Amino acid sequence: MKPLFVFAVMLVLVSCESWAPSNEDVLQSPNVSNGQLAARYFGASTILISDGEHSVLIDGFFSRPGKLYAMKHGINSLEASIQEIMNFNNIKEVDVLLLSHAHYDHILDSGRVAYLKDSIVIGSNLAIKKMSENVNGRGGELKVFPVEVMPDDFPLVPFNIKYFKTPHAPKSFLMQGIEYLYLHKSDGLNYREEGDNYSFLIQHPLGKILVVPSAGFSEGMLQDIEDVDVVFLSVGLLGKQSCSYIKKYWSETVEKTGAKVVIPIHWDNLSGQSLKPTLWPVDNLSKTFEIFQKLADKNESVSLKLPGKFGELFRLDHLYRN
Ligand SMILES: [Zn+2]
């Protein structure tokens, strides 16, 4: 309790909001109709991609408990809250649910969503195991497919989904310590191990969408991917890395894949449904976005778009055709 209290006080004292999202460039529309390709963003790396008929959900983190709430009551998946979000955003079906890795901000609500929507779940053995433990004993009823034993891609006509094992964002010892204290206090140590991390290429006749849910890279990790229309690119903890790291990450995920539109994700503080940026000193978003903007400015065929609201809808086909 004591070190955590000291840390919390320190964080409140030194935290400052150096960057905030703007909604200016984001298209909004209440629903997705047939013949469109759209993505709805729910903070962190939770994104629903839909063509009006079929839907693919990446990760599942909707409950988003506040830090103080979680330290008092635990990091829990709240089924009523998930239902409310699904109803409010008119999400009727989730055909496939893709899990990036086993941390709570990626899989906390995925089991409940999969159960409610009868979705096929694809993820690492560890992510599937953790997810299945968190559905009130209904884990055995889920339709799960460990990515380790899957072929290279999964057809969900007219979508085709490919998975790529990519590194998780590196964490400093300080970050690991802070995270341990938080998870310990909020009864969430079960989510400490991440297991393998995956990025996803989602192809549709209307566009090629790449999702990189964690800001780690290795050279050639997305080899053979080209002509990407939109990349949803995690920036979580990227601001704590060197400028050269950030540029190389951009090179592997944007330049080498030919991505035309970059939508940064995982910039929020993981708490509540009003998306707020992660504060310094946990991350340094100003640094990340300054570098991103400079890199985007160098290539006129690349543009940056920032989602600002929970549940915000992007008409993807509009973004890269305009
Ligand atoms: Zn993670």
Centroid of ligand 1 to alpha carbon of 279 (angstroms): 17
Residue 25 predicted with pLDDT over 80: no
Centroid of ligand 1 to alpha carbon of 214 (angstroms): 6
Instruction: Please compute the mean of the pLDDT values over residues 284-297 and round it to a whole number.
Output: 96
Q: Is 84 helix (H, G, I), strand (E, B) or coil?
A: helix
Centroid of ligand 1 to alpha carbon of 262 (angstroms): 20
Q: What is the CA radius of gyration of the chain?
A: 18
Centroid of ligand 1 to alpha carbon of 194 (angstroms): 6
Whole-number pLDDT of residue 192: 94
User: What burial letters (b/e) apply to 155-185, b meaning 16+ CB within 10 Å?
Assistant: ebeebebbbbebebbeeeeebeebbebbbeb
Instruction: Please compute the mean of the pLDDT values over residues 244-266 and round it to a whole number.
Output: 97
Centroid of ligand 1 to alpha carbon of 53 (angstroms): 30
Whole-number pLDDT of residue 318: 87
Q: Is 209 helix (H, G, I), strand (E, B) or coil?
A: strand
Rounded distance between C-alpha atoms, residue 136 and residue 120, angstroms: 18
Instruction: Please compute the mean of the pLDDT values over residues 91-95 and round it to a whole number.
Output: 94
* Side-chain half-sphere CA neighbours of 117 within 13 A: 27
Centroid of ligand 1 to alpha carbon of 301 (angstroms): 30
Q: What are phi and psi of 289, to 5 degrees?
A: -75, -30
Centroid of ligand 1 to alpha carbon of 7 (angstroms): 21
Confidence of residue 22 (pLDDT cuts 50, 70, 90): low
Give Cβ neighbours of residue 18 (< 8 Å, ≥ 6 apart). 279, 280, 284, 285, 286
Return the closest-CA partner of residue 169 out of 111, 79, 103: 103
What order do you get walking across the sheet with 120-123 strand by strand? 143-146, 120-123, 96-98, 55-58, 47-50, 38-41, 312-315
Domains and CATH numbers, the chain: 36-321 (3.60.15.10)
Q: Which residues pair with 233 in a beta bridge?
A: 212, 264
The structure tokens listed for 107 are: 């899989």
Give Cβ neighbours of residue 260 (< 8 Å, ≥ 6 apart). 228, 229, 230, 301, 302, 303, 320
Q: Measure the N-to-C terminal CA separation of the chain; round to a whole number of Å.
A: 53
Whole-number pLDDT of residue 320: 82
Whole-model pTM: value is: 0.91
Whole-number pLDDT of residue 28: 44
Q: Are 284 and 239 in contact (CB under 8 A)?
A: yes
Centroid of ligand 1 to alpha carbon of 129 (angstroms): 16
Helical H segments across the chain, by residue range: 2-14, 67-73, 79-88, 104-107, 110-117, 125-132, 173-185, 243-250, 285-297, 316-321
Whole-number pLDDT of residue 270: 94
Centroid of ligand 1 to alpha carbon of 103 (angstroms): 5
Centroid of ligand 1 to alpha carbon of 322 (angstroms): 34
Centroid of ligand 1 to alpha carbon of 169 (angstroms): 7
Q: Are 126 and 168 in contact (CB under 8 A)?
A: no
